[in-house]
Amino acid sequence: MHYDTRTNKHGLAHDPFKALIVPRPLGWISTLSTKGALNLAPYSFFNAVSDRPKMVMFSSVGKKDSLINIEETGEFVCSIVSSTLREAMNMSSAPVNRHVDEFALSGVTPAASFYVKPPRVAEAPAALECRCWKIEPLPVPEGATEPSYWMVLGEVVGIYIDEAYITNGMFDLAMVQPLARLGYMDYSVVNAGSMFTLNRPKLKDGGESASLIPGPWDGSYR
């Protein structure tokens, strides 16, 4: 099958777009309003976009509380969602009124950040402290008069890692078991059974060809 996304007539039970780009990491975004109201919500249109400087993005359909708070204060924190936090993460997505604190609603604990005012989720294995770099409206959809989505790009100015999740100098993903979003209402978990290593190909003959390197990681990024 093939279809034109401007009409979006795919003929399927549900729009397949989000099921095609999987798994998507979750940014559990915490913010503060200028009045000091705490806010927490998960975003799966979320990813790292650069590591020099370290930058992340998320996008909001409509001007939700997280976006409004970032417009006001320029700061946010992305806590990493482990599998054990799935219910709290889901509860924090409830579209409650702006003054409602989703930390309390979902039963997680705010812990002070180092470089920004919004707290991280204390129960999360890691968190990225971010300063907003840019908020960019995405293109106005066919037939609409204003954008549906706003993309927030933030520079990661500080990183918290719970040292219980560091093994042999590495963030132990088999222990963290990060949650990821699939399509529809489905999720996936990274765990020891779903992880494997591939070394990058090694160039040969001055770049004319390349060879694969089997076995465990040889320690090179190439």
Ligand X SMILES: Cc1cc2nc3c(=O)[nH]c(=O)nc-3n(C[C@H](O)[C@H](O)[C@H](O)COP(=O)(O)O)c2cc1C
Residue 78 CB-half CA count within 13 A: 27
Q: Which is nearer to ligand X, 140 or 203 (CB)?
A: 140
Q: Which is nearer to ligand X, 66 or 79 (CB)?
A: 66
Closest approach, Cβ 39 to ligand X, in A, equals: 5
Question: How far apart are the C-alpha atoms of 66 and 132, rounded to whole Å?
Answer: 12
Closest approach, Cβ 172 to ligand X, in A, equals: 23
Closest approach, Cβ 216 to ligand X, in A, equals: 33
Question: How far apart are the C-alpha atoms of 173 and 178, rounded to whole Å?
Answer: 7
Contact positions toward ligand X, by CB under 6 A? 26, 39, 41-45, 59-61, 64-66, 90, 93, 95, 181
Q: Which is nearer to ligand X, 26 or 32 (CB)?
A: 26
Q: CB of 70 within 8 A of CB of 57?
A: no
Q: Which is nearer to ligand X, 65 or 75 (CB)?
A: 65
Which residues lie below 8 Å from residue 91, measured CB to CB, with a gap of 6+? 102, 105, 106, 107
Q: Which is nearer to ligand X, 41 or 56 (CB)?
A: 41
Closest approach, Cβ 45 to ligand X, in A, equals: 3
DSSP state of 1: -
Closest approach, Cβ 64 to ligand X, in A, equals: 3
Sign of dihedral through CA atoms 8, 10, 15, 20?
Answer: negative
Q: Which is nearer to ligand X, 172 or 183 (CB)?
A: 183
DSSP state of 207: G
In whole angstroms, how far apart are CA 69 and each of 1, 73, 86, 205?
42, 6, 24, 54
Nearest to 127 by CA among 175, 193, 176: 176
Closest approach, Cβ 67 to ligand X, in A, equals: 7
